[in-house]
Amino acid sequence: MIKKEQNLKYLKTISFATILGLCSLFISCESSSNSETSTNTESVVPELLQRNDKIQNGKEWDQVQNAFADQKTSLAKNAEDNEAKLNLSLLYIKEARITGEHGHYYPAALKMVDQVLSSKEINDDVKFRALLTKAGVQLSLHEFSEAKKIGLQAIKLNPYNAQAYGVMVDCHVELGEYKEAIIMADKMISIKPDIRSYSRISYLREIHGDIEGAKSAMKLAVEAGYPGTEETAWAMQTLGEMYHLYKQPAKAKKIFETILASRSNYPFAVGALAQLEFDAGNFEVSKRIIKEAIDIIPEVSFYVLLADIYKAEGETEYFNKTIEEIMVMLQDDVDSGHNMNLEYADVYLDLLEDTDSALKYVQLEYDKRPNNIDVNRMMAKIYKMKKDFTASNQYKMVALQTNSKHPGLAEL
């Protein structure tokens, strides 16, 4: 997701039954070719894309390749091996997170999991895991209503699984159903207090205005993770972004540097350091660092920052070229089934200052989830720029429904 305002989407949250009260999988938006490789099975198994050398992370890439080969071998022996198909789907999802190649991996994951769900012989356990996996992919594609439907089917099959309630937390949050999200988070944390549940607790605390409580919960999420893994790096990244958003850049920088010490070339930490330099007005340093991040993975928000730098420097030719690249990347994501309405709106609003085009895309998203505070905050911002202060105030009031302390609301 493009988050110029460092909007800390997804997994951070609270057991609001007592304090007011990675299953979700996503980051940014890029694509690649949907090339596939033939196997001896009745179907075609989407290929495993070669990782950039910078993100092979020692033996991790070898382990991924071996796991992929094992599952393909299993399918070659038995084309109806649902366990192998589920394992491949999960592998694709994780590779999407790590490599940024969403345009290839999310359709690949859906292909495998849909084969499982359409199987004539499928027991409840396999069906439950397949539904949960599919709901996670739908969340990553920003299809929140569809993810909610699938998540509810999964819970009917197994009402005692923490990860299922985590999916529902994310669905309810994105759809602006915050009371329901609190209930689901409370169920999740009561079943399994781990990196996934603590991170959701953190986010619910944050959007309800408890910033210090949100930081504390995210620190618990970090402590619950294994050092050096992608999941733990993600939790640390989210904590760092929280410090950045709430005006503590020195603490944010320390966290991002700590991430890179344990997981070198973690692209989002590199990109965050570039953002800090940009905020400080160090455009040349920011440009150098963000280009390093771009060399690691094709993350669209990195190109957005690069365009911001060129715009600030008055480099019109480079700015226009970067905008063209961003538009191609966004369209590639749309072509692979990714809802990019807010990402388009961000580009038109903040980079191109085209409020009419921005409004067109935000309206599409508002029609889908009119109670979401982030969508309403963007609507309020657009109408303020259009000098329609009455409309801006109406959307702002909805954005304030959770008592969020987001700096973007203060600007309104």
Give per-residue pLDDT as tens, 159-198.
Answer: 999 999 999 999 999 999 999 999 999 999 999 999 999 9
The reported pLDDT for the residue numbered 43 is: 54
Q: Where in the chain is the domain with CATH 1.25.40.10?
A: 36-339
CATH number given to 340-412? 1.25.40
- Judge whether residue 21 has pLDDT over 50: no
**Rounded distance between C-alpha atoms, residue 195 and residue 52, angstroms:** 27
Per-chain mean pLDDT for the chain: 90
Residues 225-233: what's their mean pLDDT?
94
Give per-residue pLDDT as tens, 90-139.
Answer: 999 999 999 999 999 999 999 999 999 999 889 999 999 999 999 999 99
In 3-state terms, the chain is what percent helix, strand and coil (to 5)?
Answer: 70, 0, 30
- Judge whether residue 15 has pLDDT over 70: no
CB under 8 Å to 193, separation ≥6 — which residues? 220, 224
CATH number given to 36-339? 1.25.40.10
The reported pLDDT for the residue numbered 188 is: 97
The reported pLDDT for the residue numbered 58 is: 85
Give per-residue pLDDT as tens, 301-352.
Answer: 999 999 999 999 999 999 999 999 999 999 999 999 999 999 999 999 999 9
Which residue shows structure tokens 């070198």?
Answer: 264
Give per-residue pLDDT as tens, 351-395.
Answer: 999 999 999 999 999 999 999 999 999 999 999 999 999 999 999
CA atoms within 13 A on the CB side of 342: 27
**Rounded distance between C-alpha atoms, residue 157 and residue 108, angstroms:** 25
Given a contact cutoff of 8 angstroms between Cβ atoms, the answer to whether 99 and 51 are in contact is yes
- Judge whether residue 8 has pLDDT over 50: no
